[in-house]
Amino acid sequence: MICQDLAPDPFPILKAGLDEAGLEKRELPHLAKGDWRKRVIGRAIRCRTTGSAGWISEKLSMRVATREAKLVATDPGPAWGGDWKRAKRLAVELTKRIVNLTDTNGARIGGFGV
């Protein structure tokens, strides 16, 4: 995933990520802190917006920001554990979904390769 051209508003990607993963915001605190779906959504937000590690950690219920930063630092791969292939598929589908998203100011967030 190429991280560039950061949009200021992370909320559209958060919403798209939750929708694509089939999750609701109220479910997040009940999932593992490093759940693969949270990691994929956090990675998409981190690479495409100015959303900070602290913001991502708080919104996705991922514990502390420094741990979140490590969890979303890489694209899905074997190092992600047993769910890495599902994580990769989710990342691809999420990228397709956010290609034409715009932030609340109407600025295009855009989709970058996975």
Q: How many domains does the chain have?
A: 1
> What are the residues whose beta carbons fall under 8 Å from the beta carbon of 104, sequence distance 6 or more?
9, 11, 12
Q: Render pLDDT for 28-71 as a digit per residue (tens, 0 to 9).
A: 999 998 899 999 999 999 888 888 888 898 999 987 777 777 77
Whether the model clears a pTM of 0.85, i.e. scores above it, the answer is no
Residue 81: pLDDT band (50, 70, 90) is confident
DSSP-derived letter for residue 65 is: H
- The answer to whether residue 111 sits within a structural domain is no
- The answer to whether residue 37 sits within a structural domain is yes
- The yes-or-no verdict on residue 86 having pLDDT over 70 is yes
CA 56 – CA 20 distance, rounded (Å): 17
In the prediction, which pLDDT does 108 show?
A: 66
Strands (E), the chain: none
Domain that holds residue 44: 11-98
In the prediction, which pLDDT does 102 show?
A: 66
Question: Sign of the CA dihedral 17, 73, 68, 82?
Answer: positive
